[in-house]
Amino acid sequence: MTPKQTTYENQANTIIKALSKRHMDGHFFHTSQEAVEFINQLIIEESTISWGGSMTLSEIGLFDSLKQRNLNLLDRSTKKTPEEINQLYRDVFSADHYLMSTNAITLDGKLVNIDGNGNRVAALIFGPKQVIVVAGMNKVALNERAAIERVHNIASPPNTVRLNKNTPCATTGYCNDCLSDDCICSHTVITRNSRHPNRIQVILIGEDLGY
């Protein structure tokens, strides 16, 4: 392994131990392919699946894999009206599995997520029977403060560009602590513990994925 790969594995082992104390399960895989195979093992045939917006999930090819299976997919991209999308957001709370990435994860096992609408963090907090969080090791931060700074200044600016949002960070490249109508940083959620053991499965991948 390269020094970077070894460091990723060492950091992942540290995080997984911390997650266990917080009643979340952690898993580390060196490659996306290994991670996708494991995630498919977690997902029960004929179950209901949905996901939050995520470049990571797209990059690892997970959606293509799921579409080949006998699953009930609650897919926002198939909805055509605001009413249909809002109904899907509510239906997600009854899903068997919810897939998402995390904007950052601290070395002591906290998930840090910042959302615009809040539907993604809402499903993380409550509703779906199981939440599967997938993250590249580039999402690791030292602590909560570093994690929030990472989201504001590393993740959010390119996401606003990708989503065609009219926010200051889309043009300046860094957080301006805005209150824009297009702001994607409306809700900050730090998951420091799970009241329901094993509900949150955190899949760490030794690659740089997403923003």
In this predicted structure, the answer to whether residue 1 has a pLDDT above a threshold of 90 is no
Domain boundaries of the chain, sorted by first residue = 3-205
Label residue 92 by pLDDT band (50, 70, 90). very high
CA atoms within 13 A on the CB side of 203: 28
Label residue 121 by pLDDT band (50, 70, 90). very high
Average pLDDT, stretch 144-170? Answer: 96
In this predicted structure, the answer to whether residue 172 has a pLDDT above a threshold of 90 is yes
Please give the CATH superfamily to which domain 3-205 belongs.
NagB/RpiA/CoA transferase-like (3.40.50.10420)
Provide the pLDDT for residue 77: 87
Q: Round to whole Å and give the CA distance between 19 and 131.
A: 14
The pLDDT tens digits of the residues spanning 25-44 come to 999 999 999 999 999 999 99
